[in-house]
Each structure stands twice: as structure tokens, then as C-alpha cells.
Structure 1
Amino acid sequence: MNIEKAKTIPIARILEKFNLKPIRSSDKEHWYLSPFRTEKTPSFHVHNHKNLWFDFGEATGGDSIKLVQILLKQQGNDNSVSEALKWLDNNTDSNIQYHPSHLQDEGSQSPVLQLKSVSSIKNIALKHYLEKRGIPLSVAEKLLKQISFTNEKSGKTIFALGLENEEEAFEIRNSFFKGCIGQKSISFIRGTQPKPSGINIFEGMFDYLSVITQRNGRLLKNDTIILNSLNCLKQIVPYVKDYGYKFGYTWLDNDLAGKKATPKLLEIFKSENIAFCPMNSLYQPYKDVNAAHIAKLEL
């Protein structure tokens, strides 16, 4: 099998051969529990139209060949490109001409999730979700809104907590769902101090809210960027360039993805003469700020 044909084999079909099933599916995308580690929330995304995958926990992705290479390596096998092609040839029907599903112009498609309303947080299930994450409603309301949206495939209306990002879209979370309505981007929060000397970098909304909760609801004096995904890391560059920040306080997860992202963040800070100040020691040995916060509250 040649490289061109190998890249047309649907990634979902390859994952089936490794006994991996999607947790959530639509015509456009599949979400899996990552095959690269143990997790409870699916962070492995397959884009059906482009036939590409991305693991948000590892901050890496690629095509069908790269996926097979990594999976072969995990099994202790030769993971060269030629071995990946051989595996694909032996484990897929070479008589079938594969094509990525539903290849078409995405710009002509309506989004699966349609925003219906934005309001203050009133839904009882969302209030219970905040309690489980150790965040008082009074703190959550400083940053989040209640979002209702419709899933066009199922016709159901869903409620979630929403954080507005810099693309005027909403990063959304509830007990069962994590996603974005609109263009994914970072969220910038101005600090209470005019022309602050520092910038905080958080991975997620609940990490930031955990710190605010521990400060009895007082906002941070320095500016803050919530990445919403490590894939958005490069988007912080225009926000720190030539601003004059002296200190960069980072609150990345204590996991492999956080460790991989740290050198990239350090490089950005170095280019702007910003002192790198990792805060990880404050929430070790837990995975992230919110996990440590929940443990401290004994929830």
C-alpha cells in the first residue's frame, strides 16, 4: 500500500481494528478515550471530513499513518512508516477504495450545535455541577454564563456553563459535555491592577475559578489568559508581545501534556523577557488546580 492510499483510510476504521470505539459521534467528528493513556473524559478527536486526528491531552495529532506508527510503538513493534503501511495493507481490505467520509466544503455546512440563549446561571443541574467542582455560584457568575444550545442531529436543547473567548464564541461545559460553540480560542481576563507586572496562564476555566474561590472571590491583580486548550497556546503571543509583563505565572496540568507544553510557553516568555514562574508545586501531586481544590474541600 502506498502513502497516498493509506492516508485515505478512515481513521475511525483503523481505531476499530485496535478495538477502540467512539464515546461520542456525529457525521463530522468522533471523540474517543485516548488510546495513549488512561482517562475518563474523551480527549481524542477524529475529524471525519479531513480524516485527521488530534489528542488534546498529548497536544499532538496527524494522519492515519502517524496514528498506526504510535499504536505499533505502544505494542512494542517496529513503528517505521514502512511497517505502518504494511500493517494497513494487512488489516484493511486493499480491494476497497477508501475515502474520508463526507468530504465537502465545511463552510457550506451549518454547525451541529446552534446557540439559543445566554443568561445568568439558573439551571439547578449546572448549580450542582459547580458544587461538585468546588466553585460557589457567586464566584462562577464573575466569569460564566448559562448557555442553552440545540444539537441539530438530535433536536435536543442542552444547558451548559459558558465562558466567552476572544473570538466571541463560547467554551462550554456541563457534567457530560465539553466543547465550543463557534471558533475555539483563548479567553483574556483583565486584572484588577492597572498595567500589571504579571500574566497568569491557566489551562481551563475551573482551574482559574478554583484560585478565585481560594481567594474568597477576589479577582487576581495580574492579567489572566485561560487557554481553553493547549492547542491554543500560540494564540497568547499577541497578548504578551511588547506589553511589558515582567512575570509569567503558569498553572499547567501536572501531566505529560502539560510538561510538553511548558518548553513552548517558556520560549514565548523568553522572547519577551518575561520571567517564567511555574506554579505547579502549589497543586502537586494532583493533576490540575481544580483537582487539588476538590481534594482540599474533601468533596
Structure 2
Amino acid sequence: MDFRKQKLSIAEAKEMDMVQYLSLLGYEPSKIRNNDYWYRSPLREEKTPSFKVNRKLNRWYDHGLGKGGNMIDFGIAHYGCSVGEFLNKLNGRSSFQAPLKSIPKRENEPEHQLKILKEVELSSYALIRYLKQRKIPVEIATQYCWEVHYEVNGKNYYGIGFKNDSGGFEIRNPYFKASSSPKDITTIKSGSKEVAVFEGFTDFLSLRALHKNLTENSQDIVVLNSVSFFERARPFMEKHQAIQLYLDRDATGQNLTQRALSMSTKYIDKSSLYKNHKDLNDWLIHIGKQPKKRLGNKL
């Protein structure tokens, strides 16, 4: 069944298994005690796990923040979005993980996490075709990505893997979006005084596709891999003289952009380039036949 075509109601979204959803986002429990699954908080930085999901109740509570709730409450806190925007994300109408089918929860059910089996050079016809649909040249993708084979719930899959600074992967294929642990930002350092910042790696690859002759040391790169990692990326970003933001044009991305602009004049909003599209890759797909003409000297 293609979950991307489903339209979840608020009630259905609340019934989605939070433990499995967190696993898709790349978060695995540090410990499990009966029905309580303890995590390092997905909502902030911490060393001692204080974010709890009671799987029987399907409710979460962040002891460090002093707040909790259901799946909807988590989505709003995690992405900084409205209820409607979070439902859109679950329905697959934006670049977030596809929704999970609500499944019966069993007490003390063992955790099924995504396990990386191997990483090889990109060669799968299906993945190459997917890249072409996204208007990303294979020769660019192979510079930064791998073909990752992984296991979930005893079944094997493969996808395009983009490695983060901690060794985890963001994984994409035509039907599935996921992360492997540990989840982190990705930085590409070349000693430049400028840094370009993206939410996801397909937008980064889109910029490389637009400027195939861009030299490697022209810009440093930060791929957040989740907007929740913006604060984690700030120390690296703010070492640079100019910080170019290529964040999504949805409410979450634009709110984060405005917050960054209010913090320092180093931050520069570059999203006007694709103002009529949800993100840079969406813009490239729709007008990718002549991107350089439209792009001009704006980057």
C-alpha cells in the first residue's frame, strides 16, 4: 500500500506508533523499561535521556522541557509547524518521512531499528532513475552519496544514502525516506569564508547541479538533515563571514529563516530564488531545463 496517497485525519495521526515514527526519524531508545521508552530528546540537546514515550498510551513527555502530549503535539514541537502543516508532512506532501500505518501496540514489544547492511557505489537503475526525475546528475550524486542497503523489521531495502558527520545516513528512494542512527548534521569544509545551508541533501545536490563548474572551495556546506538541528549547526555556520540560507519555503523553513536573520547580519535569505516553489529541488524540477539562465548571478 502506498501510504503517500493516504490522507490522515487528526484522530488517525494521533494513533500512529510514536516509537516507530521516532525510529524513522533516526531516534532510537537509550533504554526500555516495561512500556516506557527513554530517548535523548529529539527537541533539544542533552546527554542524559529524559524524553519518554509510553508505548501503551502512545504519549510522550520531555522532562527537560516539562511538556508532552500526543503525536500531533510532538510534530508541532519537532518541526515548529501548525497542525495542518504536520498532517501534510505525514501525508507525504512535503520532504519529510512518509507516514506509518497505525498498528496495534504490544506490551514490551522488541525494538526494530533500521540497520545498515552495506554501502556501495550508486549503480541501481531505480535509484539513478529517481535522481534523473529530481533533475540531479548522477555524476554529482556519486560525489556525495552512496547506495545504501539496509534492513528494517527483517526485510532488506536499498536507497540513496547521504552520510552525516556522526556516520549515520539520510536515506531516500522513490518510496521511502528514513534516517539511520546516529542522526546529525552534515558539514563539507573547504576553508571558505562563506557557507551555504540546506535542510536536506537533495537541495544541496540541486545547487551543485545548477553550478556544475562551481569549485569545491568556493563555499562550505551545511546540510541540517532536520530543522531541529539548526542550533547544533550554529557554531560552525557562524565561523563564516556570510551564511546563505536555502531553507524550504514552507512555514517551518521561513520561520527559521526569519529567526536567523534577526540574530545576525551574517545570515542571508536565498529562498527568493524559488519563491513560488516549496524548495530548491522543486524549483529545479519544474524549470530545470534552463536553470542557469534563470539563476543569473543570484547565488
**Residue 229 of structure 2: aligned partner:** 232
Distance in 2, Cα, partners of 1:17 & 1:120: 40
Whether the 8 Å contact between 2:159 and 2:172 is mirrored in structure 1 is yes
Give the one of 32, 57, 60 matched to 2:80. Answer: 60
Is the partner of 2:228 in helix, strand or coil? helix
2:156 is matched with 157
Confirm whether residue 184 of structure 1 aligns to residue 183 of structure 2.
yes
How far did 1:17 drift?
8.1
Q: Which amino acid aligns with 1:231?
A: S
- Once residues 18 and 144 of structure 1 are traced to their aligned partners in structure 2, the CA distance between those partners, rounded to angstroms, is 36
Query: Partner of 1:141: helix, strand, or coil?
Result: helix
Letter in 2 for 1:51: R
Structure 1 unaligned segments of length 5 or more: list them. 1-15, 32-46, 62-66, 72-100
CA distance in 1, matches of 2:77, 2:135: 23
Distance 1:183-1:217 versus aligned 2 partners, 3 A rule: farther
Are residues 1:286 and 2:277 paired? Answer: yes
Query: Does the Cα contact within 8 Å between 1:58 and 1:256 map onto a contact in 2?
Result: no
SS in 2 for 1:20: helix
Unpaired runs of at least 5, structure 2: 1-7, 23-52, 61-70, 85-104, 291-299
Aligned to 1:51: 59
Does 2:210 align with 1:202?
no
1:266: Cα distance to partner? 3.1
Kindly indicate whether the alpha-carbon contact (under 8 Å) linking 2:200 and 2:226 is maintained by their aligned counterparts in 1: yes
Q: What residue in structure 1 maps to residue 68 of structure 2?
A: none
Is the 1:185–1:228 contact (alpha carbons within 8 Å) kept by the matching residues of 2? yes
Give CA-to-partner distance per residue, 1:173-212, whole Å, 9 cap, x none.
1111111111221110123xx3x22111111111111110
The equivalent residue for 1:222 is 219
Q: How does 1:26-45 map to 2 (within 5 A)?
A: 28-30=19-21
CA distance in 2, matches of 1:297, 1:22: 38
Offset of residue 28 of structure 1: 2.4
Counterpart in 2 of 1:277?
268
Q: Any conservation in 2 of the 1:199–1:248 contact (CA below 8 Å)? A: yes
What secondary structure sits across from 1:209 in the alignment? helix
Instruction: Name the CA distance, whole Å, in 2 between partners of 1:21 and 1:280.
Output: 30
Matches within 5 A, 1:10-25: 18-20=10-12
* Residue 231 of structure 1: how far off its partner (Å): 1.2
The corresponding residue for 1:143 is 144
TM-score where L is the length of structure 1: 0.64
Could you tell me how far 1:55 is from its partner in structure 2? 2.5
What is the TM-score of this pair, normalised by structure 2?
0.64
Please provide the CA RMSD for this pair.
3.5
CA gap 1:217/1:160 in 2 versus in 1, 3 angstroms: farther
Say if 2:186 and 2:222, in contact at 8 Å, map to a contact too: yes
Q: Does 1:170 align with 2:161?
A: no
26 and 278 in structure 1: CA distance in 2 versus 1, 3 angstrom threshold:
same
8 Å CA contact 1:247, 1:275 repeated in 2: yes
Give the C-alpha shift of residue 20 in structure 1.
2.8
Compared with structure 1, are the counterparts of its residues 58 and 256 closer, same or farther at alpha carbon in structure 2 (3 Å cutoff)? farther
8 Å contact from structure 2 (residues 80, 252) kept in 1: no
The amino acid that maps onto 1:189 is: I
Indicate the residue corresponding to 1:76 in structure 2.
none
How far is the alpha carbon of 1:284 from its aligned partner?
Answer: 1.8
Q: Is contact 1:27–1:102 with CA below 8 Å preserved after alignment?
A: no
Q: Count residues in correspondence.
A: 221
